[in-house]
Amino acid sequence: MSSDRLSSTILVKEHETILKVIDALDRKIEEFREGNLIDVGFLRSLLEFSRVFIDKCHHGKEELCLFPCLERRGIPRENGPIGVMLMEHEMGRSLVRQINERLDSYVSRHSKTDFERILNLCSEYIELLRQHIYKENNILFPMGDGVIDEDDERRNIECYEKREHELGEETHHRMEQLAEKLKQEAKQ
């Protein structure tokens, strides 16, 4: 997707980072199946990436900055694309919680049930994020680019910067480094 607006381009670039991590998780799931063992450290790092980068950094920008702007410009939340995206954000949060809970159980019990459930939840999370990102990149962001003006664009960028500042100056960079680490671990 090619965007006319920096506010969309920033989010698309973050999607690329997210997809890199999701692809790494996909490879690790195969490794887990082959070895019949979950790399707990990898999965804990992935959950941290999900909670901090995906949810707080990325979804925070969408939910607190871009989506309200798009709503003001007439793109509906209820029964519209923004509502669907928000519902999918909640689904992702729920999956992250469930994976974390099952991982805690797996660590303490090493049960085959927890093992299988973790792999299924991870696969569900991967599929959700891939479809979600596709819809935002190819439907919602182009739709938004067509309705926002230069003042909206400036306010969105300022809002993104404020969001990053609230999370801590190094958080975004640290999460990008974690994404690269997860990608490398999945190649080994």
Helical segments of the chain, H only: 6-35, 40-49, 60-61, 67-72, 81-109, 112-135, 141-145, 150-167, 171-187
CATH number at residue 95: 1.20.120.520
The verdict on residue 79 lying in a domain is yes
Q: 161 in a domain, yes or no?
A: yes
Distance CA 126, CA 50 (A): 11
pLDDT (tens place) for every residue of the chain, 188 residues total: 445 688 999 999 999 999 999 999 999 999 999 999 999 999 999 999 999 999 999 999 999 999 999 999 999 999 899 999 999 999 999 999 999 999 999 999 888 899 999 999 999 999 999 999 999 999 999 999 999 999 999 999 999 999 999 999 899 999 999 999 999 999 86
Q: Which domain holds residue 157?
A: 6-187
In a domain, 182, yes or no: yes
Residue 1 lies in a domain: no
Confirm whether 19 is domain-assigned. Answer: yes
pTM reported for the whole predicted model: 0.94
Residue 62's nearest CA partner among 45, 87, 79 is 87
How many domains does the chain fold into? 1
